[in-house]
Amino acid sequence: MEAAEHTNIGAADPPAVSGTERSGHMERWYSRASVRRSPRRVLADLDPEHGLPFTPELVPIVAHPEVVRRGPMMIHRILTRALGDHLRFTEELENEVVVPVAQRIQSGAIFPWLEPPARIDAGRICVDEAYHSLFSRDVLSQLERLTGVRCSITSATSLERLDARARRAPPQMRPLVSAFYTIASEVVVSGILRTTPIDRRVAPIVRQVIADHLRDEAAHQAYFSAIFPEAWSHLGAEERDFIGPSLAEFVTWFFEPKYAAMMGWLMAEGLEAGTVRKIMEDVMEHEGEQEPLRHRGAAPLLHVLRSGDAFAHAATADAFSRCESFARRRSVEIRHDRR
Ligand SMILES: [Fe+2]
Ligand SMILES: [Fe+2]
């Protein structure tokens, strides 16, 4: 397939922020950032009458008849684990990847061509992310104490894969791999966080915690969308050949359902191995994995890549094409296997 065809990926997306535009939020950071204005969130209670611990559509196993027939308390416990998993992953992502990248942008070690105001914005983002990590750990500790549920580390997989991917790059390129992972993640995370704060079935305290995060991430999305075209234009040929296809891998990781985690939650509920396998097969068959990337929330990132002309780079365009066709092929294979 020609690279030019890929320039239409996500063609109906909203307009991107221009390279010079500031989000406005970062200028008013001192009065608007969650770390500056939000109170500590305290989980006084998370019993069913206070609402759900998490949006159920984000955890498709809870709609499976084998789970539903076991009653609302099992659903509640699984959603509690999903909330814990979300908090733990947020803490790890911020601490291990986003905070160090933001620090390096502030210092000029990465993207040294950025103007001083943009480097100061990176420092503000660094503070935001450290705070997201802090309140995620704080609420997770409260959650575990309150419910007795121990949240496993199953969702750290994408950070392990980032490590493995970065190790395949020449040592001098590794900081850039993390930086572009951060750009990709920051461009799509608002869309991922947006569902739960407006879900009135979810307990207000949980919605507030995620809304605290979302408020900051909307500004971060504008910042990283704005710097992508220039960041991409500064890459050398070898760097583009490695980082462009890596972006396609990253976006696949962001939107693939957490099957391993969900399996673990079912097993923690004491379900038999055969029942767990049946639930997972059914969920995988019906999940939106076969959806085009833009329908799975990747549209803002695809738009940003287009704005930087990244799809004119053949290896990048091909990698994105492969993850689209992989999703379609996998969907067909799952259906075929079930016959
Ligand atoms: Fe964050
Ligand atoms: Fe962020």
Give one DSSP letter per residue of 149-161, joined into a string: PPP-SGGGHHHHH
d(CA 120, CA 86) in angstroms, rounded, equals 29
Say how many Å lie between the CA of residue 213 and the centre of ligand 2.
8
Say how many Å lie between the CA of residue 141 and the centre of ligand 2.
22
Contact of 83 with 54, CB cutoff 8 Å: yes
Residue 257, classified by CB atoms within 10 Å of its CB into exposed (0-12), middle (13-18) or buried (19+), is middle
Contact of 176 with 239, CB cutoff 8 Å: yes
For the whole model, what pTM was predicted?
A: 0.87
d(CA 216, CA 211) in angstroms, rounded, equals 9
d(CA 132, CA 126) in angstroms, rounded, equals 10
Ligand that lies nearest to the alpha carbon of residue 134, given by its number in the listed order: 1
Contact of 202 with 54, CB cutoff 8 Å: yes
Say how many Å lie between the CA of residue 196 and the centre of ligand 1.
15
Q: Which domains does the chain have, with CATH numbers?
A: 27-338 (1.10.620.20)
* Angle between helix 116-147 and helix 72-93 axes, rounded to 10 deg: 150
Say how many Å lie between the CA of residue 89 and the centre of ligand 2.
13
Say how many Å lie between the CA of residue 193 and the centre of ligand 1.
10
Query: For the segment 110-161, what is each residue's pLDDT rounded down to a tens digit?
Result: 999 999 999 999 999 999 999 999 999 999 999 999 988 887 665 557 788 9
Say how many Å lie between the CA of residue 126 and the centre of ligand 1.
9
Residues with Cβ within 8 Å of residue 189, at least 6 apart in sequence = 217, 220, 221
pLDDT < 70 positions in the chain: 1-25, 152-156, 288-296, 325-339
Q: Which residues pair with 202 in a beta bridge?
A: 52
Say how many Å lie between the CA of residue 181 and the centre of ligand 1.
13
pLDDT the model gives residue 331: 46
pLDDT the model gives residue 159: 86
Half-sphere exposure of residue 280, counting CA atoms within 13 Å on the CB side? 18
pLDDT the model gives residue 263: 93
Say how many Å lie between the CA of residue 2 and the centre of ligand 1.
36
* Amino acid at residue number 326: F
Say how many Å lie between the CA of residue 99 and the centre of ligand 1.
9
Say how many Å lie between the CA of residue 185 and the centre of ligand 2.
8
pLDDT the model gives residue 87: 95
Nearest to 204 by CA among 55, 58, 51, 84: 51
Ligand that lies nearest to the alpha carbon of residue 129, given by its number in the listed order: 1
Say how many Å lie between the CA of residue 230 and the centre of ligand 2.
19
pLDDT the model gives residue 325: 59
Cα angle for residues 325, 332, 320 (degrees, 5° grid): 10
Say how many Å lie between the CA of residue 125 and the centre of ligand 2.
7
d(CA 162, CA 145) in angstroms, rounded, equals 31
Say how many Å lie between the CA of residue 186 and the centre of ligand 2.
5
d(CA 123, CA 128) in angstroms, rounded, equals 9
As a residue count, the chain comes to 339
Ligand that lies nearest to the alpha carbon of residue 133, given by its number in the listed order: 1
d(CA 295, CA 332) in angstroms, rounded, equals 18
Phi, psi of 249 (to 5 degrees): -65, -45
Say how many Å lie between the CA of residue 181 and the centre of ligand 2.
12
Residues with Cβ within 8 Å of residue 276, at least 6 apart in sequence = 263, 266, 267
Q: Which residues pair with 52 in a beta bridge?
A: 202
Say how many Å lie between the CA of residue 105 and the centre of ligand 2.
13
Phi, psi of 24 (to 5 degrees): 90, -40
pLDDT the model gives residue 167: 95
